[in-house]
Amino acid sequence: MSAYTELERRFHRLYALRNANNVLQWDWAAMMPTGGAEARAEQVAAIKVVCHEQISDPAVGDLLDRAEEERAGLDAWQAANLAEMRRQWIHETALDARLVEAMSRACSACEQQWRRARPAADFAMVQPQLAEVLALVREAGAAKAARLGCSTYDALLDEFEPGGRAAEIEPVFAHLAEVLPPLRAKVVERQAAAGPVLRPAGPFPVERQRALGLAVMKTLGFDFDHGRLDTSLHPFSGGVPDDVRITTRYDEADWVQALMGVIHETGHAQYERGLPPAWRYQPVGQSRGMSTHEGQSLLMEMQAGRSRAFLDYLAPLAREHLGGDGPAWAPDNLHRLYTAVHPGFIRVDADEVTYPSHVILRFRLERALIGGDLALADLPAAWNAGMQELLGITPPSDREGCLQDIHWYDGAWGYFPTYTLGAMTAAQLYDAAGRALPGLDDAIRGGDFGPLLGWLRANVHGHGSKLSARGLLEHATGRALDPAVFVRHLERRYLG
């Protein structure tokens, strides 16, 4: 058996274990009774330690070195797989088993406390647990930074966006922070001059909203033999490519929120389902970082899901499922409702013009917290000040402020920038798809997402991690990430 073949065997088992953990994590968030938290924390910690031990086995380093000597005999997929194996090995071997287990337990405890603190709107309730998580994240980031030759924050970012660096992101975000506020002001002024949007009158029972969501998922091509829709406190996509689990949350006064969550998470799920089946249990068969992943969800939710063509399709479907009638349900009015721009407190409910400001705030704050430039006790005040600076509003409580997202409390530091990188990726991909598929708007207006999904399968999904994020975008669109495409999209949709 060659060294490379042995590595494939070992990584196959590793991904089978990680997949089991993914389903456990989904169950934790969507189905598990609160009394099961302690037992589940034990299970998750045990799996994470076993996974860490497998990849950090000294034999793996030797196998990687020997496989490099065999590289001439590998095909393009195998060579890319070997490179991804090496990258994951560097990340894992930078940490010892003690730190992996400590992080798992601390994140589990912090997430559970966050679930109590958020409805109570009390950051102080979870601050001690978050302080422990932050200390461990800093320790892990510093250990990885030493191996990767980068800053602590960049090492954390690299987990979610391989090769991503804050020095490259910062000028892009600074540009958006400069150009978006005046654009937003023009849009808000124009929309105000057009008069108030008619809001469909509720309430909208959860069971009817769920039925509408399932119908839209079917339209988007979701395979219900390989996935399901459930409810959670925070919408997310989990599970594994052959068993994709997505969730949303419902508000009986607002059906748009839940449906947009469904469309967003279906975009994530379709990416997972489209990954190359032959490489399911290998690093090269996984998604190509979170900016690409968010690009798929935001392409469906923002680019296609809020287009006039889709609203023409959705209007009669929404009336049918929600029992609506009258001018509030007309496609013109629904389009105005879906593209309404106004600064709000909650990131996941934000329109695409204000959304980047939410991400820029989190990017700034988490860098300051990781670097020690911001004390954790000062996070709520710094959050509120940042919201005032970027969006001109101040959250009324911690619930609408620094408690709204699960990410930091669950140990995901360095994740947030990928949301806006993903928004720009989505705009660029949808622009390229539109040029490649001249009849795309007509297909979507008719409820046919087949052409779009087929284009994504061929140009993005099916490549897994064979290419870098930059290489994948260049392959699909002919250029590297260009913020100008995103800004032009906003200007065309909202000011055109």
Q: What is the 3-state secondary structure (H, E, C) of the chain?
A: CCHHHHHHHHHHHHHHHHHHHHHHHHHHHHCCCHHHHHHHHHHHHHHHHHHHHHHHCHHHHHHHHHHHHCHHHCCHHHHHHHHHHHHHHHHHHCCCHHHHHHHHHHHHHHHHHHHHHHHHCCHHHHHHHHHHHHHHHHHHHHHHHHHHCCCHHHHHHHHHCCCCCHHHHHHHHHHHHHHHHHHHHHHHHHHHHCCCCCCCCCCCCHHHHHHHHHHHHHHCCCCHHHEEEEECCCCCEEEECCEEEEEECCECCEHHHHHHHHHHHHHHHHHHHHCCHHHCCCHHHCCCHHHHHHHHHHHHHHHHCCCHHHHHHHHHHHHHHHCCCCHHHCHHHHHHHHCCCCCCCCHHHCCCCCHHHHHHHHHHHHHHHHHCCCCHHHHHHHHHHHHHHHHCCCCCCCCCCCCCCCCHHHCCCCCCHHHHHHHHHHHHHHHHHHHHCCCHHHHHHCCCCHHHHHHHHHHCHHHCCCCCHHHHHHHHHCCCCCHHHHHHHHHHHHHC
Residue with tokens 């979870």: 126
Whether the pLDDT of residue 312 is over 90: the answer is: yes
pLDDT at 212: 98
What tens digit of pLDDT does each residue of 22-61 get? Answer: 999 999 888 999 899 899 989 999 999 999 999 999 999 9
Inform me whether the pLDDT recorded for 253 exceeds 90: yes
Residue-level pLDDT at 150: 96
Cα dihedral 335/337/341/347 (nearest 10): -110
Nearest partner of 156 among 373, 412, 374, 356, judged by Cα: 412
Determine the Cα–Cα distance for residues 380 and 106; give it in Å rounded to an integer: 21
pLDDT of residue 235 exceeding 90: no
User: What's the pLDDT tens digit per position in 9-21?
Assistant: 999 999 999 999 9
Looking at the predicted structure, is the pLDDT value of residue 252 above 90?
yes
pLDDT of 309 reads 96
Query: Region 433-462: what's the mean pLDDT?
Result: 97
- pLDDT reported for residue 349: 84
Mean residue pLDDT across the chain: 95
Active site residues: 265
Residue 108 pLDDT grade (very low, low, confident, very high; cuts 50, 70, 90): very high
Q: In the prediction, which pLDDT does 487 show? A: 97
The pLDDT tens digits for 390-417 are 999 999 999 999 999 999 999 999 999 9
Q: What are phi and psi of 127, to 5 degrees?
A: -60, -45
pLDDT tens column, 52-67: 999 999 999 999 999 9
Per-residue pLDDT at 234: 78
Q: Tell me, what's the pLDDT at 15? A: 96
Confidence class of residue 477 from pLDDT cuts 50, 70 and 90?
Answer: very high
Q: Does 182 score more than 90 pLDDT?
A: yes
What's the confidence (pLDDT) of residue 233?
Answer: 79
Percentage of the chain modeled with pLDDT above 90 = 95
Task: Answer yes or no: is pLDDT of 1 > 80.
Answer: no
User: Residue 69: what pLDDT?
Assistant: 95
pLDDT band at 348 (very low <50, low <70, confident <90, very high): confident
- How high is the pLDDT of residue 29? 86
With 0.85 as the threshold, say if the pTM is over it: yes
pLDDT at position 275 over 80: yes
Q: What is the pLDDT of residue 146?
A: 96
**In the predicted model, what is the mean pLDDT of residues 161-176?**
95
